[in-house]
Amino acid sequence: MSKIKKITLPTSVDKFLDGKIIIEQLVDGGRSNTDTILLSAAVPVGPGFKVLDVGVGNGTSSIALGSNFKDITIIGIDNDPINIQLATRNVALNKLEGSIHIKHVDILKKNLSFNIGNEKNLKFDSIFMNPPYFDIETVNESKSHYQNITKYHDGSNLDEWINNSLKLLKFKGTITMINKIENLNRIICLLSGLGSITILPLISNMNGEVQRFILSFRKGSNAKTRVLRQVVLHQESGSFSDRVEDTLRGRARIDLTQSDYFYQI
């Protein structure tokens, strides 16, 4: 940790997965939340998998995944130097330097390639992402630069996130993402005909509408599109539903190949 440059912006140090992991994050912008952990919990992995985290941010999703699966290799990329510093610090803080590699790379660049050791031009078994939710042309920007780079895209960036990720994905590999329902049609259009799609709707409570979703795409699969039973995040009391609480505390994960998609670990 002493060799890693200290962040000069205000940060807090917070615990996730019931204290299993510790994350330093910016006070203003780029903060991890429920979506961060739910996304990580839905990423399918197996022994020896090579995994790419696009838009790694402060590293929470990768660290949550890597803390549960020590036999995988994760590359986390981001185009922002402060995020790279934070993610690098957090990987070291959680002693996962051997399995998580943070790289200053922009997914919007063409012809990306990745190497680990003697392995060149990696194709990934699993890619996951939490792309910016909002089109900057349709909403007002935040006054915070770091809120802006986390939440807003310029109308075409979402396409490039997906298209460039597809080029890095193995045949039968998966892309897992979480996003706003307003972007679902666009995402389906980008992936249609290239593989199978499974959608998990997320609603805040029983009286709410679907606002976000987790989507799993398998490249080259001919399986039919599936929409799973919605996840209700909160009980009437406002507390998290039992299964969501278990997932946020690291006691459960999400398998989108199953109809009963939550499972205990």
Q: Domain containing 114 — which CATH number?
A: 3.40.50.150
2 domain-assigned: no
203 domain-assigned: no
Whole-number pLDDT of residue 1: 44
264 domain-assigned: no
1 domain-assigned: no
Counting the structural domains of the chain, the total is: 1
141 domain-assigned: yes
Whole-number pLDDT of residue 27: 93
243 domain-assigned: no
pLDDT in tens, the chain (265 residues): 445 667 889 999 999 999 999 999 999 888 999 999 999 999 999 999 999 999 999 999 999 999 999 999 999 999 999 999 999 999 999 999 999 999 999 999 999 999 988 889 999 999 999 998 766 555 555 555 554 455 554 556 899 999 999 999 999 999 999 999 999 999 999 999 999 999 999 999 999 999 999 999 999 999 999 999 999 999 999 999 999 999 999 999 999 999 999 999 9
Degrees, nearest 5: CA angle 80-84-129: 75
236 domain-assigned: no
3-state secondary structure the chain: CCCCCCCCCCEEEEEECCCCEEEEEECCCCCCCHHHHHHHHHCCCCCCCEEEEECCCCCHHHHHHHHHCCCCEEEEEECCHHHHHHHHHHHHHCCCCCCEEEEECCCCCCCCCCCECCECCCCEEEEEECCCCEECCCCCCCCCHHHHHHHEECCCHHHHHHHHHHHHEEEEEEEEEEEEHHHHHHHHHHHCCCEEEEEEEEECCCCCCEEEEEEEEEECCCCCCEECCCEECECCCCCECHHHHHHHCCCEEECCCCCCCEEEC
Whole-number pLDDT of residue 153: 47
189 domain-assigned: yes
Contact 20, 251 (CB under 8 A): no
29: containing domain: 11-193
Contact 122, 116 (CB under 8 A): yes
Whole-number pLDDT of residue 116: 87
Has this prediction a pTM greater than 0.85?
yes
Look at residues 153, 221, 142 and name the one whose alpha carbon lies nearest to residue 182.
153
Contact 122, 141 (CB under 8 A): no
